[in-house]
Amino acid sequence: MNSHNKFWWFTLLAVLLTLAVVGALLVYIWQQLTSLEQTIVIEILRHQGGYLFGVFILLIAALGFGGDAIVNNYIIPSRKICEGTLLMQSANPAHRIDIEGGQELKALANAINEGANRYERLFQHVEKRVEKARQMAERDKNILAAVISELPEGIIICNGRGDIIFYNRKACQLLSPSQADGNACDIRAFIGVGRSIFDLLDADRVRYAMDETAASRQRNQVAVASVFYSQGIQGHPVRIEITPILDDAQEINGYILLFAHQSPHLANEQVERFRYQLDVQLRNSLAVVQLAAELLKDYPHLVASSQPPVVDILYQEVEHLGKLLGPGDSSDPSDSSEPSGIAPGSGVWPLAIVAPAEFATSLQHRLENKGGPHLVLMLQDSAGHIRIDTYSMLLALSHILRHLQVAAQTESLDCIVCRKNAFVTMDFSWKGAGIKLNELTAWYQEQLALTSTTGDPVTIKDILAANDAEVCLLPERYHGREGCLRLFLPLAEPADDAARSGAVLADSRPVFFAFDLFERPDRITSLDSLPLTDLTYTVFDTETTGLEPRRGDEIISIAAVRIFNNQLLDDEVFNQLVNPCRSIPKESIRIHGIRPEMLVDQPTIDLVLPAFARFAANSVLVAHNAAFDLCMLAMKEAQTGIVFNHPVLDTMLLSAVVHPAHKKHSLEAIAARVGEPVTGRHTAAGDARVTARLFLKLLPLLARNSIFTLEQARQASQKVPLAKIKF
């Protein structure tokens, strides 16, 4: 109930009470009168009653006019003075109180305005000094940002929970769709401050790499970085190197991820593989050539009678060899169509040099943590190193051993790690049922939840081939066991390249945007109880063909910006025109300026909304007059299958919460009150940006009204009369 209504209820109550008291007094006096006196009074009322009633009505009217004057001159102005003072103290120091009312209140407003002038001068003085200091810091920050931004490598920094706190342009180019140039419908996740690295990359792979760096640190290794490959934005393999960031206590509290297109390391590996494939092809052909040559030289009688003639066979082989080597560009390994030791489509994983014992221990831990047989390690001679992609090999071996656990009905496996001439063997033996070779062969063909650098799904067989590894089932009983699987891994020289040695220490970290997120507490499941300043917001707006979503009006443009850590993220914009597949009324074109020809080549809503849903993931939706925009989105739920069940805040309702004495809560009215310029109105992107800036101005005003959490803001919004508007 607003203060105006409160006053009139109070006045009515007071009048009724007065009438009741006067009535009771009259009844009491009436009863004290003698019958003669009562007769005289009745006689007077009969003759003078009209006058008395007139006086009573005049009295009531005077009370009404007096009350109205009090409301307009004192009650409402005092409320406006209160709101204006709060505005000046929080959102808009340039605001001044301008009221029509009683002289006393005008004097009070003038006094407050005078105080505000002095406060503003002081505020501006302090602001200037802060701005000067900020500009100096900003200059340093911009130099650093420019350097990082232009680096040929992509960089993402995340905290220990995987929340992205910094990224550069190159990382965006390598991994994320462009968010502002019409490519927003790419199926990939968006890069953004506050978003999770686990949504952007293969979560299991990233977690494994993080665990690997942690394990390297525990072993006090100099090189702690972990490297793996992922598929980039255009299907190109991207090399990802993860390095931990340490805090003062030397504990890992974040990670630096460096991204680069396929590195020379990978190129060298591919060249080496191609060279070996060529070697195999040449040996096959040479075998024919040599045998033919020997037959021609040493067994002329055979050659003379052979059918087909040996010379013809030799000629065919030479022809085949010619096709194999040329005439085109044969330098591309991917052109090799002949079967080889590398499984087609397996791609290439980065092979790292690791100690066999470390790999066996990692396998043991993985089986324990992910469910699998218990591994009893026996390291007979584990000297030397092996060269494998530990993650893919762990996945493949875990898969095989879990199958083995079931097929052989055993809970425990002995694992003997032993170095032989040019390789390391890992023998997995067990007591229990034996397994058949065709079972093992069937397991090889199973696909894993892993993609190669080319994005193709891979089988266990692909992984073994890509790691130059082999698994075989030993034919005989082995050391009294029922069966034994032997894994062959190639020996390698220890790494001699300069590995990234360590971690960035806390005192060397640059002062940079959102690095305070390192210190954020762990996520709370329910957003309702979180402070409004700690939430991530997607502020959005739609442009439509009209104002009646239930009568066929469609979205033709949708735009959104993100607010994270109480800041509007300028670089994170979703802005997409939408083909409505219907005509656009001229009246609406006059408002938003979007003509039908601009939408012909644009995606339809069923493509745009899924992308928008990914952009808005894990955030609170904010809009001005959100009921309308949400109704537009809700009308598309059945068509797109996308349900926006995010928490929602409406700047129009929040304005009514903090400025109940004001009747206007349009974007322009709010902007005028909080001193925020309005630009780019009636474009979805412009309105979303203005709404976001106004929302940030409303947050401190909500706090002044003791509204701190999302739940409090939602409850307060529901109580204002504007909340009852439906579309």
Question: What are the tokens at 492?
Answer: 């390698």
Question: Containing H/E element for 697?
Answer: helix 684-704
> Which residue in 100, 114, 32, 101 sits closest to 70, CA to CA?
101
Binding residue for other proteins, selected from 129, 436, 477, 595, defined by CB under 8 A: 436
For other proteins, the binding residue among 340, 544, 588, 625 (CB under 8 A) is 340
CA-wise closest residue to 269 among 120, 467, 412: 467
Rounded CA-CA distance 535/404 in Å is: 48
Question: Which among 604, 596, 557 has a CA at the least distance from the CA of 577?
Answer: 557
Is 380 a residue that touches other proteins (CB under 8 A)? no
> Is 682 labeled as catalytic in the residue annotation?
yes
CA distances, 523 to each of 76, 194, 520, 563, 619 (Å): 44, 12, 8, 17, 13
Q: Kind of pairing, strands 555-564 and 447-451?
A: unpaired
Residue 493 in the binding site for other proteins (CB under 8 A):
no
Closest-CA residue to 470 (of 436, 447, 448, 440): 440
Residue type, 79: R
φ and ψ at residue 716, rounded to 5 degrees: -65, -40
Rule CB under 8 A: say whether 289 interacts with other proteins.
Answer: yes
**Restricting to residues 251-280, which ones interact with other proteins according to CB under 8 A?**
276, 279-280
Q: Scanning residues 45 to 74, which ones bind other proteins (CB under 8 A)? A: none
> From the CB of 285, what's the least distance to other proteins, in Å?
8
| For other proteins, the closer CB: 471 or 684 | 471
Task: Report the residue from 286, 505, 524, 591 that binds other proteins according to the rule CB under 8 A.
Answer: 286
CA 579 to the chain's CA centroid: 26
Nearer to other proteins, 475 or 521 (CB): 475
Alpha helices, H only, 488-625: 586-592, 605-615
Site string for other proteins, 498-537 (x = CB under 8 A): ----------------------------------------
Question: What is the spatial distance between Cα 91 and Cα 97, in angstroms, rounded to a whole number?
Answer: 14
C-alpha 362, offset from chain centre: 30
Q: Which stretch binds other proteins (CB under 8 A): 49-57, 260-268, 289-297, 659-667?
A: 289-297
Which of 130, 474, 524, 725 is the binder for other proteins (CB under 8 A)? 474
The reply to whether 475 sits near other proteins by the rule CB under 8 A is: yes
Site for other proteins in 607-636 (CB under 8 A): none
Q: Is the CB of 82 or the CB of 433 nearer to other proteins?
A: 433
What are residue 485's DSSP bridge partners? 428, 473
**Minimum CB separation from other proteins for residue 448, in Å?**
20
Q: 556-593 burial, b if ≥16 CB within 10 A, otherwise e? A: bbbbbbbbbbeebbeebbbbbbbbbeeebeeebeeebe
Give least dist CB 305 to other proteins, A.
Answer: 9
Q: Interface with other proteins by CB under 8 A: which range of 117-125, 131-139, 312-320, 536-544? A: 312-320
Q: In 3-state terms, what secondary structure has residue 354?
A: strand
Query: Whole-angstrom Cα distance, residue 46 to residue 44?
Result: 5
Kindly state the DSSP code that residue 545 receives in the 8-state scheme.
S
190 neighbors 615 (Cβ within 8 angstroms):
yes
Instruction: Indicate whether 472 belongs to the interface with other proteins (CB under 8 A).
Output: yes
Site string for other proteins, 316-335 (x = CB under 8 A): xx--x---------------
Q: Indicate which single residue of 11, 89, 253, 306 sits in contact with other proteins (rule: CB under 8 A).
A: 306
Piece of 117-125, 148-156, 266-274, 416-424 that binds other proteins (CB under 8 A): 416-424
Kindly tell me which residue out of 2, 39, 268, 290 binds other proteins, with binding defined by CB under 8 A. 290
477 lies in the binding site for other proteins (CB under 8 A): no
| Angle in degrees, CA 252, 254, 256, rounded to 5 | 120
Structure token pair of residue 533: 């300043």
Site membership for other proteins, residue 411 (CB under 8 A): no
Interface residue list for other proteins (CB under 8 A): 276, 279-281, 283-284, 286-292, 294-295, 298-299, 302, 306, 308, 310, 313, 316-317, 320, 339-341, 420-423, 436-438, 441, 468, 470, 472-475, 486, 488, 490
Q: Which residues are catalytic?
A: 682
